[in-house]
Amino acid sequence: MTVVELAPVSAAAGVAVIEVGRALPALADVPALGARCLVRLGGRPLGVVDVAGPCTSLDAGSLASAIEAALGPALPGPLTAGGFDAAQPMVAGEVAETVTVVIATRDRPDTLARCLESLLSARPMPAAIVVVDNAPSDRRTLELVERVHGDDRRITYVTEPRPGLGRAHNAALPHVATEHVAFTDDDVIVDTGWVGAIADGFRAADDVACVTGLIAPAELRTEEQWWVERAAGFAKGFDRRIRSARDAAGEGPLFPYDAGTLGSGANMAFTTAFLRSLGGFDPALGTGTVALGGDDLAALHAVVARGHSLVYEPAAVVFHRHHAERAALERQAYGYGAGLTAYLCSVVAHRPATVFAIGSRVIAGIGQVLKPTSPLNARRPADYPSSLVWRERAGMAAGPVRYVRQRFLDRRTDRRLGKQVA
C-alpha cells in the first residue's frame, strides 16, 4: 500500500504521521500542547509517540531517539534518522472490487468534500461510494456531489428524509452490489491504504463478518481535542485482533456486550450478506435520533453474538477530526453515554432472552463506570473535567428512556405514512 502523510510533518496541527521505513523528517512548529506522532513501518502502525511543545524544530535524529525510547520493542532494530530499509507492500490492484464505502452526512458539505477526496485518492479505491444525505435542510450536499463528482459513476447519491444514522446506513444497502460494505463518517479523512486494509481484514480468519480499524486524530490543536484523544479510546491498539464468541476465554467479564472495545462507527465494514440477514441497523439508534447513538455498537455486538468473527485491523487507518470546543464535547459525552445504554436496550428488544446475560453483568458494568482504576476511568488524563464524566453518566441513565421514546415515535410515524400510502 502507498503511504502518505495525511497529517503535516510540521506537526503544526498537533499531529504527524511518521513512516520509519524511510528517512525520518524533522518536525517544525510543534504547538504548546505538543504533538502526537503515529509511527508506521511499511504502512502498518507501530504505536504513537508524543512530542512535548512548544518546539520550533526537532531534528530527525532527536525524533528517532524519541521513537526508539517509546516504541523500542516494536521496532525491528535500532532506529536512526535514516529509518529502516523497508520495502513498501505492493498494491494488488487499482480498485478493491469487493468493497463499497458508505458515507452518511447532514449539512456538512465542506468536510464531506475532504472525505470524498481522500477516498478517491485511495489505492486501491473502493468499487463504489454511496453518499446518504440524511434529513438535509438544503441542497448543498447534492450540489457538491453533482458539481465535483457528477460524472463519476462510482458515486451514488441517496436521500433519506427521516433523521438517524442507523436509518441512513440502511438507505444505502439497496445500492450496495459488492461483497463488503464499509462505513465511515463525513468528518473523516481515510488513509491511502484504508480500503485495501479493510479487504485484507476479511481474509484474516474464517467466517469474518466485520472488520474495524484504527481511528487516529486529524488534528490536536485544542485542549478539548487532546481530552478526546486520551480518554475516548478511539484507537483500539496496534496489533491485529480476532474477536469471536468461540474464543471468549481471554475476554473480559463484559464480553460480548462491551461492543465499544470492538471498534467504532467511523471505521467499520461488514459482509453485505450479514447486514442484510440482520435486517440492517436498528433505525431507532444513531446520531440524529432521540437515542443519540449506539447503532454501531448494536451491529458490532451482533457479529460476535451470532457466532461470526470480528477482525480489528490497525492498518485500516482513518483520521477523525475531534470536537475542538467544550460545548460540543459535553454534548458528545452525553450522547456516548445515552447511545451505550440505548444499544443494550436494543439488544434486549430484538433478543429478549439476553436480558438475563446482560443482568448478570450489571455489577461488572457499574464497576467499569464508577471504579477509578477501571480501564474506562484509568485512561482519562488527570486534567480531564469531571463535568464530562458526569455528562456521560447522565446520558447512560437516560439512554433506555430515550430508546423507548424513539421506538414509539418511529411506530407513530410508520402508521401515519402507512395511512398516507393507503
> In terms of DSSP bridges, do strands 188-190 and 125-134 run parallel, antiparallel, or are they unpaired?
unpaired
**Are residues 257 and 171 located together in one domain of the fold?**
yes
Confidence (pLDDT) at 410: 96
Q: Which helix (H) or strand (E) segment is 58 a member of?
A: strand 55-58
DSSP assignment of 331-386, as one string? Answer: HHHHHHHHHHHHHHHHHHHH-TTHHHHHHTTHHHHHHHHH-TTSHHHHTS-TT--H
Within a domain: residue 56? yes
**Are residues 32 and 48 located together in one domain of the fold?**
yes
Domain boundaries, position 50? 1-89
Question: 334 falls in which pLDDT band (50, 70, 90)?
Answer: very high
Phi, psi (degrees; rounded to nearest 5) at 119: -65, -40
Kindly report, residue by residue over 64-102, the tens digit of the pLDDT. 999 999 999 999 999 999 999 865 554 456 889 999 999
Confidence (pLDDT) at 247: 79
Query: 275, 392, 386, 307: which is closest to 341 by C-alpha?
Result: 392
Does residue 2 register a pLDDT over 70? no
Confidence (pLDDT) at 141: 98
**Are residues 254 and 349 located together in one domain of the fold?**
no
Within a domain: residue 381? yes
**Are residues 84 and 100 located together in one domain of the fold?**
no
Does residue 4 register a pLDDT over 80? no
Does residue 35 register a pLDDT over 80? yes
Give Dmax (Cα) for the chain. 73
**Are residues 251 and 299 located together in one domain of the fold?**
yes
Burial class (CB in 10 A: 0-12, 13-18, 19+), 307: exposed
Kindly report, residue by residue over 207-244, the tens digit of the pLDDT. 999 999 999 999 999 999 999 998 876 778 999 999 99
**Are residues 305 and 403 located together in one domain of the fold?**
no
**Are residues 62 and 198 located together in one domain of the fold?**
no
Residues 6+ apart with CB under 8 A from 110: none
Task: Give the mean pLDDT of 308-316.
Answer: 96
Strand partners, 16: 37
Confidence (pLDDT) at 20: 94
Task: Identify the domain boundary among 89, 124, 145.
Answer: 89
Phi, psi (degrees; rounded to nearest 5) at 130: -115, 120
Separation CA 281–CA 275 (nearest Å): 8
Separation CA 163–CA 183 (nearest Å): 17
Total domains in the fold of the chain: 3
**Are residues 74 and 108 located together in one domain of the fold?**
no
Within a domain: residue 147? yes
* CA distances to 141, 297, 401 from 247, in Å: 44, 20, 34
**Are residues 146 and 240 located together in one domain of the fold?**
yes
Separation CA 74–CA 264 (nearest Å): 25
Tell me the Cα Rg of the chain: 21
Confidence (pLDDT) at 148: 87
The enclosing domain of 99 has a CATH number of 3.90.550.10
Does residue 43 register a pLDDT over 60? yes
Kindly report, residue by residue over 133-189, the tens digit of the pLDDT. 999 999 999 999 999 888 898 999 999 999 999 999 999 999 999 999 999 999 999
Within a domain: residue 334? no
**Are residues 120 and 149 located together in one domain of the fold?**
yes
